[in-house]
Structure 1
Amino acid sequence: MTDTTASATRPRSGRQTHLAAHGYEAVIASVGASLRTLTSDGRDLVVPFGADEVRPAFRGATLAPWPNRIVDGRYAFEGVEHRLALTEPERAHALHGLVGWTDFADRHVADDRAVLVAVIEPQTGYPFRVEVEVEYRLDAAGLTQTVTARNLGADAAPWGTGPHPYLVAGDSRVDDWTLTLPASQVLTVTPDRLSPVAVEPVSAHAEWDFRDSRPIGDVFIDHAFTGLSRVDGVAEVRLTTDAGTGVAMRFDDRCPWVQVHTADASERIGLAVEPMTCPPNAFASGVDLVVLEPGAAHAASWTISAVLRPPPRP
């Protein structure tokens, strides 16, 4: 249900919508259609933030119409050059799209489901009109978020999306958790600006090879991964404690990429896991870029669920 607090006392993160089902509880903040909290039987599965707090960076936000970075904010689409505002000024990139600070409207709200919507209006650097619909739904499998884009304009539009949760396995920090990341390739980046360099096998970068579960330790990660192995079409990134409890994130092949970040600037309190429909700088490179024709729609989804303690061996 949605908090109908008067505008005079409206929380900084926007309207608050509380969802509950099957032992899961989530709170969605309308600014950025952000996942503010998610718990399973009272245990945090993501790093939360306060309702009356300005959301820390992109924690829990919906990323659209592109995830990650566009280098120098420059790209060409259908023969036209575009230049976006540099929203990551310290690295001079356009970061994480255009809707992160947009106040989404409610389209549908129920006890276990909320649908929010906003429209990206044509603007400098992105002269396209695209509706962004964000659905959050709780069931026995966890919290599923689905982002659907609809091109409302007369011209084709470039598109990409993804989420930005910081997953939490337990009460300790990233260094103490075990990561399973079924990716055979990593996109290397420059050390200063994190600009993409090349897709390389993780076998050549042992520090980022988590195909076999192992503790993260003090490894720094802020990279996009691909070459994902899947079971029945679904990839799973898993984060667990020594006790075996934790959190998992699952997504299908509509997200062939996943960004993973150890949140070093936030004292490694959570692991960012961001399934993406395209890699960093896709507007410029064209790699896995979705092209929305006029009137067309595109949807992608991902699910966060609790990992429970395994049963004792007989």
Structure 2
Amino acid sequence: MTAAPTGGQYHLRHAGPDGAVEAIVTEVAAGIRELRVAGFDITEPFPVTSQPPGANGIVLAPWPNRVAGGVWELDGERQQLDISEPKYGNASHGLLRFTPYRVVSQSSTSVLQEATIHPQHGWPFTLETRVHHELVDDGIRVTHEVVNRSGVRAPFAIGAHPYLRAGDTPAEDLVVTLDAASAFTVDEQKIPNGTVSVDGTPYDLRAGVRAGDADLDTAYRDVTPDADGIRRTTMHGPEGDGVELWQDESFPYVQVFTSREFPRGDGTGLAVAVEPMTAPANALNSGEGLRWLEPDESWTGAWGIRRVWS
């Protein structure tokens, strides 16, 4: 039997009050391969025979998005990461994209996995990472933990890369809404080179924008939290049913990516990634959002995806 490119497949099921919540979480990259509520897909699924298209569903650690040229500086010394995005010449999406995680514990509704980031080219630290996927009544909650095992203080940032879906509604017809006041501009390598107010720009999602009319690979900050400190991005179809990605105060940034190269049948089409991030692209150089852990210090943060009814 041919092994799945994403390794072991952990099938989760929860009997929610509005119907079964079901997910498939993968061993490689601790990704979400399928997620649905009452038969209504709230992420883009992909086949077990496939690698995650466009990094679909994977965990991004110890940095999300890109490091310019794969180069950063630590205590005055140049660090050169492996170039994993040749098209733009960057190190992209961290060091665990093709790494199998180990199961720590598992039940019918949840799975806790861990992976260690060991020292390697441009990364002289050891971090233990854990990812807990837990089904809840209307979707999934994902909790991350990072522990520094380096013996010296170490930096990190965390992100995830789900593509959201609202049942069978074509992605073009989904309305994307995000209450964010500013967005990052980028250079030709897709590295941030400034921020702008979203007022009067194509980046403004506060009133909702039809995904088919958007062209975004854009990180947002100054995202307005609710009274509980939660930031929310929603996508809904013409009938009102939709999906929401929420992120706690540990994840103050979010990337919205309207990919038109997502596999669709015999060709490609539109899919929308909504990526919770603790820091924006190139944080190892800019320092924005970057967190530093002392030896044996730990950090936790959470985000999730839920179905929204009209």
**TM-score normalised per structure 2:** 0.93
1:66 equivalenced with 2:59 (yes/no): no
- One-letter amino acid of the counterpart of residue 281, structure 2: P
Residue pairs, 1:151-230, within 5 angstroms: 151-190=148-187, 192-205=188-201, 207-230=202-225
Partner of 1:88: 85
Q: CA deviation at 1:141?
A: 4.2
**2:6 is equivalent to residue 13 of structure 1:** yes
Q: Deviations over 1:251-287 (max 9, x none)?
A: 1221110010001222443210001000110000101
Give 1:293's aligned amino acid: E
Deviation, 1:86, is 0.9
Distance of 1:104 and 1:69 partners within structure 2? 22
Select the residue among 51, 54, 57 that pairs with 1:54.
Answer: 51
Q: What is the root-mean-square deviation of aligned Cα atoms in Å?
A: 1.3
Summarize the Cα distance change of 1:18–1:69 in structure 2 as closer, same or farther, 3 Å threshold.
same
Q: 1:239-278 counterparts in 2 under 5 A?
A: 239-266=235-262, 267-278=268-279
Please say if residues 77 and 158 of structure 1, whose CA atoms lie closer than 8 Å, have aligned partners that are also in contact: no
Aligned length: 300
SS in 1 for 2:116: strand
Contact 2:29–2:59, Cα closer than 8 Å, also in 1: yes
CA distance in 2, matches of 1:93, 1:248: 30
Report deviation, 1:9.
4.1
C-alpha distance in structure 1 between counterparts of 2:199 and 2:215, whole Å = 17
Shift of 1:292: 1.4
Cα shift readout 1:139-178 (whole Å, capped 9, x = no counterpart): 1242011111111111111100111000012424332111
More strand by share: 2
Name the CA shift for 1:173/1:194 in 2 (closer, same or farther; >3 Å): farther
- Residues in 1 aligned to 2:128 and 2:206: alpha-carbon distance in whole angstroms: 37
Write the deviation string for residues 79-124 of structure 1: whole angstroms up to 9, x where unpaired: 3321101100010010000001001110000011100011111111
Superposed CA offset, 1:169-219 (max 9, x none): 2424332111111110000112x32121101110142x1111112323322
Note the residue ranges of structure 2 that are not aligned, 5 or more in a row. Answer: 263-267
Please give the alpha-carbon distance, in whole angstroms, between the structure 2 residues aligned to 1:54 and 1:280. 23
Q: Per-residue CA shift, 1:42-63, capped at 9, x if unaligned?
A: 1111111112222224111100
**Mapped pair 1:128 → 2:125:** yes
Percent of residue pairs bearing the same amino acid type: 33
Contact 1:170 1:240 in 2 (8 A): no
| Residues in 2 aligned to 1:165 and 1:300: alpha-carbon distance in whole angstroms | 17
Report the equivalent of 2:307.
306
- Matched residue SS, 2:4: coil
State the one-letter code of the partner of 2:115: A
Unaligned runs of 5+ residues in structure 1 are 1-7
Aligned letter for 1:140?
D
Is the Cα contact below 8 Å between 1:173 and 1:270 reproduced in 2? no
Asked whether the 8 Å contact 1:220–1:264 carries over to 2, the reply is no
Aligned position for 1:35: 32
More divergent stretch after superposition (167-176 vs 153-162): 167-176
Matches of 1:54 and 1:217, distance apart in 2: 25
Of residues 234, 240, 250, the one that matches 1:238 is: 234
Counterpart-to-counterpart distance in 2, 1:294 and 1:90 = 36
SS at match of 1:72: helix
SS in structure 1 of the partner of residue 213 of structure 2: coil
Letter in 1 for 2:232: E
- Aligned structure 1 segments of 4 or more residues deviating by more than 3 angstroms: none
For residues 1-28 of structure 1, what are the alpha-carbon distances to aligned partners after superposition, in whole Å with 9 as ceiling and x for unaligned? xxxxxxx543221001011112210001
The corresponding residue for 1:45 is 42
